[in-house]
Amino acid sequence: MADIESILKEERVFLPPSQFASAARIKSLDEYARLYERAAREPEGFWAEVAKELHWFSPWTQVLDWNPPWAKWFVGAKTNLAYNCLDRHLGTPRKNKAALIWEGEPGDRRTVTYQQLHREVCRFANVLSRLGIRPGDRVMIYMPLIPEIAVAMLACARVGATHSVVFGGFSAEALRDRTNDAGAKLVITADGGYRRGKVVPLKANVDQAVKDTPTVENVIVVKRTGESIAWVPGRDHYWHEVIEAASDKHDAVPLDSEHPLFILYTSGTTGKPKGIVHTTGGYMVGTYLSTKWVFDIKEEDTFWCTADVGWVTGHSYVVYGPLSNGATTMMYEGAPDHPEPDRFWRLIDAYDVSIFYTAPTAIRSFIRWGEQWPMKHDLTSLRLLGTVGEPINPEAWMWYHKVLGGGRCPIVDTWWQTETGAIMVSPLPGATPTKPGSCTRPLPGVVADVVAKDGRSLGPNEGGYLVIKKPWPSMLRTIHGDPDRYVKQYFSEIPGVYFAGDGARRDADGYFWVMGRVDDVINVAGHRLGTMEIESAIVSHPKVAEAAVVGRPDELKGQGIVAFVTLKKGNDPRPELQDMLREHVAKEIGALARPDEIRFTEALPKTRSGKIMRRLLKEIASTGAAKGDTTTLEDMSVLLRLSTSSEEE
Ligand code: WTA
């Protein structure tokens, strides 16, 4: 199979501002290179040293047991992640520091200190034990983004229950299927949550789901909205009632390092959800270190990762990474455009957020809404920006840099996956010069490469498959209930290495440029093109906010290129603009990539975590309608509009 051709040329380079670098944990490229080299030479010694910064009830006898593709890290050691996130800080000045700053969508506010959070978690851990939850039991969490979701996760971690958080935007059916796959005994939920001023009926969905989940014995319900809900006596328990009777003293259970911490179902853009299994010790070490280095986190930072806790980004960088570092983490329950498109900027201003971590899809929405919204607020508290979830188009990167960061804040474009547990390839903000659109270099301890299908390393700027060649502590351990699928999915496609589906190239400086999922690669007249590069060329046009590119069958060329384009507010989708955009792409990256067709659309179909569902667009581009699986789609109406309006544009 041919590798992937790269056509994007991006020459801009941004050095870490000297003031930022001099105060950073890792201050120069040299320092990074030394750390990287050390970790490569002696990975087990490197990771053991990091692990020693955390608390273990008893030590490991072996750092790594690697029986490919099965890994065990910190073999034989006992630890507890909730202990490391809470108890470890109580004997220090962090005891009365804000662990969690929270704002609800209606504007209600709570601040929870480390000591308070510890007590809440202890209480809830006692509740779990009283309901018969034992180490290894599975617990579903289906909640809005409120402090109790963190309490629930940490309490599970404390007693050794394996949690499985299902994003509150998922349906009853999705919850049912995941609950059955996990075989969970308990569901933790709320009566409802707020989203764009409306109540999401979480408890009603749970009632619907647990009709067909034979393993579920109890349901715990946080009273959030006060709406009236159905109640099954004996099965249902109000959170505030059960914790009232519970003691706030609880000894964290020493758990084996390889004890399963959580199962997280990947929403994926294709196929049936998979229950990704992460374990305790390695995941803890990976999220701890990446938070510390990539976000350069300091005692006085207010760190805001905007992800919902229902995604891995929320697990690792709203809850476990920041708390294991003793940092202040922020959480906001609702939508970024409620009541107006400046809610995020209002929050940054109100809480003096210093580190802001969000997704390219969100940034493209901000661009579409216009810079008048951030301009209304004082954002000078920001010192560092981050992105995750998709390749970021260079123009979106530039907007983020200029408009939000005031040209002052480094940007960390962090590449990782649910499966990797923690950030893998990313700048270190005080050390790594950044290039818009590149996630730069692997973190120390991560051995990444770009290879051909046969596993051969490719040279500079040759597009191929992004792989990880050595085990790392926070890697997934298996797919719940389906070890064969684990082997097949991640370790069979390319000989001897981990591969989870992304195409990439590495430039002459060793920088990684992710080109999108390999399933989305378009084959035009024998040239295999990644979607990201063509999309980036379209997005670099000043009138465009967002673009998604897919292939459709073409008799002559193999595949033709169809681009779905969203314009910035205030621009009309005139037919002349279609020609202008086609020429713009030809000029930016070459005639080969000139789209055969441009379709304007108000919105693109996205997964609930914000990734563009190119699979559905492919169907629309070739058949006029999408008939495939749409269960992970955020907004069904987008698809309907696209399908019916397809002919007239
Ligand atoms: C994509 C989210 C380019 C990629 C943490 C990956 C990215 C998938 C980046 C995982 C990035 C994530 N640049 N692509 N910085 N970050 N991706 O499991 O395709 O929701 O394989 O984990 O998102 O998505 P997931």
Residue range 429-444: mean pLDDT, rounded: 98
Predicted local distance difference test score (pLDDT) of residue 642: 73
pLDDT > 70: percent of the chain: 97
pLDDT averaged over every residue in the chain: 94
Residues with a CB atom less than 6 Å from ligand 1: 266, 311-313, 388-391, 413-418, 439, 500-502, 514, 517, 609
Q: What is the residue with the minimal CA distance to atom 15 of ligand 1?
A: 415
Centre of ligand 1 to C-alpha 632, Å, is 16
Distance of alpha carbon 42 from alpha carbon 23, whole angstroms: 28
Residue range 477-503: mean pLDDT, rounded: 95
Centre of ligand 1 to C-alpha 135, Å, is 31
Q: What is the residue with the minimal CA distance to atom 12 of ligand 1?
A: 389
Residue range 296-322: mean pLDDT, rounded: 97
Centre of ligand 1 to C-alpha 612, Å, is 12
Predicted local distance difference test score (pLDDT) of residue 646: 36
Other CB atoms within 10 Å distance of the CB of residue 504: 29
In the block, residue with structure tokens 């809480």: 351
Other CB atoms within 10 Å distance of the CB of residue 248: 15
Edge-first strand listing for the sheet containing 109-113 = 109-113, 98-103, 328-332, 302-305, 355-358, 384-387, 411-413
CATH of the domain at 633: 3.30.300.30
3-state DSSP assignment of residue 369: helix
Atom of ligand 1 nearest to the CA of 426: 15
pLDDT digits (tens, 9 = 90+) for 26-68: 999 999 999 999 999 999 999 999 999 999 999 999 999 999 9
Centre of ligand 1 to C-alpha 502, Å, is 8
Residue range 547-553: mean pLDDT, rounded: 93
Q: Is the pLDDT of residue 627 over 80?
A: no
Ligand 1 pocket, mutate which of 476, 502, 506 (most atoms under 8 A from CB): 502
Atom of ligand 1 nearest to the CA of 417: 22
Stretch among 48-52, 98-102, 487-491, 524-528 having the lowest mean pLDDT? 524-528
Residue range 357-378: mean pLDDT, rounded: 95
Ligand 1 pocket, mutate which of 400, 411, 417 (most atoms under 8 A from CB): 417
In-domain check, residue 591: yes
What is the β-pairing status of strands 78-79 and 544-554? unpaired
pLDDT > 90: percent of the chain: 84
In-domain check, residue 638: yes
Centre of ligand 1 to C-alpha 465, Å, is 14
In-domain check, residue 62: no
**pLDDT-based confidence at residue 271 (cuts at 50, 70, 90):** low
Q: Is the pLDDT of residue 649 over 50?
A: no
Predicted local distance difference test score (pLDDT) of residue 1: 40
3-state DSSP assignment of residue 111: strand
pLDDT digits (tens, 9 = 90+) for 66-91: 999 999 999 999 999 999 999 999 99
Atom of ligand 1 nearest to the CA of 414: 15
In 3D, which of 254, 255, 216 has the Cα closest to residue 236? Answer: 216
Centre of ligand 1 to C-alpha 417, Å, is 5
Predicted local distance difference test score (pLDDT) of residue 267: 62
Q: What is the residue with the minimal CA distance to atom 22 of ligand 1?
A: 417
In-domain check, residue 585: yes
Centre of ligand 1 to C-alpha 532, Å, is 13
Count of domains in the chain? Answer: 1
Centre of ligand 1 to C-alpha 312, Å, is 10
Centre of ligand 1 to C-alpha 186, Å, is 30
Q: What is the residue with the minimal CA distance to atom 4 of ligand 1?
A: 390
Ligand 1 pocket, mutate which of 414, 498, 514, 517 (most atoms under 8 A from CB): 514
In-domain check, residue 586: yes
Atom of ligand 1 nearest to the CA of 267: 20
Ligand 1 pocket, mutate which of 10, 287, 415 (most atoms under 8 A from CB): 415
Atom of ligand 1 nearest to the CA of 419: 18
Q: What is the residue with the minimal CA distance to atom 23 of ligand 1?
A: 389
In 3D, which of 325, 319, 278 has the Cα closest to residue 301? Answer: 325
Q: pTM of the predicted model, to two decimals?
A: 0.94
* Amino acid present at 318: V
Residue 110 neighbours by CB under 8 Å, 6+ apart: 100, 101, 102, 147
46, 235, 569 from 231: Cα distances, Å? 52, 8, 46
Centre of ligand 1 to C-alpha 117, Å, is 31
Atom of ligand 1 nearest to the CA of 413: 15
Q: Do residues 333 and 356 make contact, with C-beta atoms less than 8 angstroms apart?
A: no
Phi/psi for 479 (5° steps) reads: -100, 130
**pLDDT-based confidence at residue 268 (cuts at 50, 70, 90):** low
* Distance spanning both ends of the chain, measured CA to CA: 35
Residue range 322-342: mean pLDDT, rounded: 97
**pLDDT-based confidence at residue 647 (cuts at 50, 70, 90):** very low
In-domain check, residue 205: no
* Amino acid present at 610: G
In-domain check, residue 451: no
Q: What is the residue with the minimal CA distance to atom 24 of ligand 1?
A: 417
HSE of 444, CA atoms in CB hemisphere, 13 A = 28
In-domain check, residue 612: yes
pLDDT digits (tens, 9 = 90+) for 551-587: 999 888 889 999 999 999 999 999 999 999 999 999 9
Predicted local distance difference test score (pLDDT) of residue 648: 32
DSSP string, 33-78: HHHHHHHHH-HHHHHHHHHTTS--SB--SEEEEEETTEEEEEET-E
Predicted local distance difference test score (pLDDT) of residue 4: 84
Domain that holds residue 568: 521-648
Centre of ligand 1 to C-alpha 392, Å, is 10
